[in-house]
C-alpha cells in the first residue's frame, strides 16, 4: 500500500504501485511524507527499490521528502537498512510520525 500526505490530505495510490508512479506523484503533488507498507516478505524488496528511486529522482531536482514504512513483515532495523526515515509499527505510530513531520 502506498499513501502520501499532501497539505495534510492522504492520497492513497493503492496496492502494487510501481516505483515510477510513486516518484511521479511525489514530484507532481510536492509530497512531504510517503508511507509504504508491506504485508508479505516478497514485497519488501520492491519497497527498497521504491525508496532508492525516490531518493535518486528527488535529489536530481533538489527536493526531499520523508519516508515511513511499516507492515507485518518489517522491523525497525530493516526499515533503516532500506533507507526509510521512519518505522511505524502500527497506525498510531504513523500518526505520531505525521505530527512530527508536519510540526503538529
Domains of the chain: 2-102 (3.40.50.280)
Q: Please give the pLDDT value at position 100.
A: 92
Q: Please give the pLDDT value at position 6.
A: 54
Handedness of CA 61, 64, 68, 74 (dihedral sign): positive
Q: How confident is residue 44, by pLDDT bands cut at 50, 70 and 90?
A: confident
Query: With a threshold of 0.85, does the pTM exceed it?
Result: yes
Please compute the mean of the pLDDT values over residues 14-29 and round it to a whole number.
Answer: 92
Spell out the residues 6+ positions from residue 49 whose beta carbon is closer than 8 angstroms to its own: 19
Q: Please give the pLDDT value at position 54.
A: 97
Beta-sheet strand order (sheet of 2-6): 9-14, 2-6, 33-37, 66-70, 86-88
Amino acid at each position: 500500500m502506498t499513501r502520501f500526505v499532501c497539505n495534510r490530505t492522504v492520497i492513497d495510490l493503492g496496492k502494487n504501485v510501481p516505483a515510477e508512479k510513486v516518484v511521479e506523484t511525489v514530484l507532481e503533488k510536492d509530497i512531504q511524507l510517503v508511507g509504504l507498507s508491506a504485508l508479505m516478505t516478497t514485497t519488501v524488496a520492491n519497497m527498497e527499490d521504491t525508496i532508492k528511486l525516490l531518493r535518486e529522482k528527488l535529489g536530481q531536482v533538489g527536493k526531499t521528502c520523508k519516508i515511513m514504512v511499516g507492515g507485518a513483515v518489517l522491523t525497525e532495523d530493516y526499515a533503516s537498512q532500506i533507507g526509510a526515515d521512519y518505522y511505524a509499527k502500527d497506525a498510531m505510530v504513523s500518526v505520531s510520525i505525521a505530527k512530527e513531520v508536519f510540526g503538529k
